[in-house]
Amino acid sequence: MYLVIFDIDGTLTNTYKIDENCFLRALALEFGIFGINTNWAGYKHTTDSGITQQIFIEKLGRVPSDEELVRFKRCFVSLLQEAFIDNQNLFSEIPGSGNLLSELQLDPDWCVAIATGGWSESAKVKLQKANLQIAEIPFASADDAISREDIVNTAILKAKNVYQVETFDRVVFVGDGIWDVKTSANLNIAFIGIGNLELINVGATQIIKDFTNLEVFQAILKTAKIPRFSMNTILHITQRQQWEAAKLIGSYRADSLDNEGFIHCSRLTQIVKVANRFFKHQKDLVLLFIDSEKVQAEIREEEAEIGELFPHIYGELNIDAVYQVIDFGAGEDGFFELPQEVVDLE
């Protein structure tokens, strides 16, 4: 049996912004706390329980009491309910998520669970308002643990009990945040990103826009890979033959290393235009996903002809820094697009 675990905000429901807004308002109304850092990825634990605890320590010099947490949750849920009355469109499903959950629950090979960094009551309000039915699905939340890893592990344990499975042959986590990629990497489980191309920059290799194409998602479920989390993934295009030769000797050198002194690399947002400018009509290419933190040579951010900064590797590339390699050939018209196996955001 296989298990797929879903995050909620930004993954199953389009509620990320209203969730953030009501969370901040509840802090202000209940405790007079303002000026919150909303770079959630910068918190030690990107969960409602973890963020609340860190904010209390930073702003008030102590952890919240159980009574304060009850007050906060009550206010938070009340604000979500009021927001729904004012604008129901703020609580929509990610396209196709309702149908996907229904189909997966009928699939004899796949079990389904939910692991959210939100609190249970607020999370279930958002799911209900988005008309997503989860009554039979194992559910773990920030009420169960403070860290994402522990929440996902709780979801796996609950799924084993519900589905009466001793161990799952494959576990896939589906999420939309940097913290979701990191959690999957830490737990050594496969990952699929939803709607956020920037996840490529931190190690995700498979991302889809939404769940409207059920066949595409089901196919990716079977091939999704464990991410190698890095806050600074860079990409490089090369001939397949060059890469195969590099694997035999343990290091890779591009022709530009001899001609210009460095290996050209790109960010996700740059790779297609680089390919279309320098590799048009070429077919037998591969795209290297490089963990820049593992690169032994110096990396410099330097301005190119088009006025953008690009990462340049000043030396040979040690192949153990390359954590993913995919085919990357031009289309019928000679131009490039991001490969479907990496992203499906068309």
d(Cα 104, Cα 114) in Å, to the nearest integer? 13
pTM strictly above 0.85: no
What stretches of the chain show up as alpha helix (H) in DSSP?
Answer: 16-31, 48-60, 66-86, 97-106, 120-129, 148-163, 178-187, 214-223, 240-249, 255-259, 268-278
- Evaluate the CA torsion angle 76, 149, 226, 313 in order and state its sign: positive
Contact 236, 257 (CB under 8 A): no
Position 333 scores a pLDDT of 92
- In this prediction, residue 341 carries a pLDDT of 57
CA distance 229 to 189: 12
Give the C-alpha distances (Å, rounded to integers) separating 210 from 7, 13, 98, 195: 13, 11, 11, 6
The pLDDT assigned to 269 comes to: 83
Domains parsed from the chain with CATH numbers: 1-231 (3.40.50.1000), 233-337 (3.20.170.20)
Tell me which DSSP letter residue 139 carries: E
pLDDT value, residue 346: 40
The SS3 assignment for 63 reads coil
Neighbours of 74 (CB within 10 A): 13
Q: How confident is the model at residue 180, as a pLDDT?
A: 97
pLDDT at 39: 87
Residue 6 confidence (pLDDT) = 98
Nearest C-alpha neighbor of 323 from the set 283, 298, 287, 299: 287
Distance between CA 280 and CA 322 in Å, rounded? 24
Rounded Cα–Cα distance for residues 50 and 198 (Å)? 24
How is residue 108 annotated by DSSP? T
Sorted by sequence, the CB contacts under 8 Å of residue 102 that are 6+ apart come out as 133
Q: Is 346 helix (H, G, I), strand (E, B) or coil?
A: coil
What is the chain's pLDDT, residue by residue, as a tens digit (346 residues)? 999 999 999 999 999 999 999 999 999 999 999 999 998 988 999 999 999 999 999 999 999 999 999 999 999 999 999 999 999 999 999 999 999 999 999 999 999 999 999 999 999 999 999 999 898 999 999 999 999 999 999 999 999 999 999 999 999 999 999 999 999 999 999 999 999 888 988 889 899 999 999 999 999 999 999 998 877 889 999 999 999 999 999 999 999 999 999 999 998 888 999 999 999 999 899 999 998 988 999 999 998 876 789 999 999 999 999 988 889 988 889 999 877 656 554 4
Check if the beta carbon of residue 173 is closer than 8 Å to that of residue 186. Answer: no
Side-chain-side CA neighbours of residue 71 (13 Å): 12
- State the pLDDT at residue 88: 94
Work out the number of other CB atoms within 10 angstroms of the CB of residue 259: 8
Cα 242 to Cα 319: distance, rounded to the nearest angstrom: 12
* Neighbouring C-alpha atoms within 13 Å toward the C-beta of 143: 11
| Pair 341, 223: CB distance under 8 Å | yes
- The strand pairing partners of 192, in sequence order, are 174
CA 88 distance to own-chain centroid: 26
